[in-house]
Chain A
Amino acid sequence: MSVVTRILGALAAPLVAVVVAMLITSVVILASGGSPGEFWSIILSAPADRVYVNIVNQTSMIFLSALAAAIGFRMNLFNIGVEGQYQIASYTAAVVVGAALVPGLLNVALGLVVAMVAGSVWAGIAGVLKVTRGVSEVISTIMLNAIALTLVGYFLNTYGVRAGNSLRTTEIPESSQLAGWTPFLDRDGAVWTLCVLAIVAGIAFSFVINRTSFGFDLRATGMSESAAVASGVKVGRMVVISMMLSGAIAGLIWMPAFFGAAHTYGSTFQYGLGFMGIAVALLGRNRPLGIFFGAVLFAFLNEQSNRLTLESDISQNVVQITQGVIVLAVVVAYEVVRRRQVAAEQSRVKRQLDATKPTTDEAVSA
Chain B
Amino acid sequence: MIEFNRFKLDNGLTVLHHFDPTTPMAVVNTLYDVGARDESEDRTGFAHLFEHLMFGGSVNIADFDAPLQFAGGESNAFTSNDITNYYDILPVQNIETALWLESDRMLSLAFTPKSLEVQRNVVIEEFKQRYLNQPYGDVWLELRPLAYREHPYKWATIGKEIRHIEEAEMEDVKAFFKAHYHPGNAILCIAGNISLERTRELITKWYGDIPKSLKPERMLPKEPEQTEFREKTIERAVPNDAFYYAFKMPERRSFEYYVADIISDALGRERSSRLYARLKKELKLVTSINAYITGSLDEGLLVIDGKLSDGVSFEELDKALWETLNDLIDHPFSPEETARLLNKIRTMKEFQEQGLLNRAMNLCIYELLGDANGVNEENTLYQSITAEHIQKQAAAMLQKENCSLLRVKALQA
The yes or no verdict on A and B being binding partners is: no
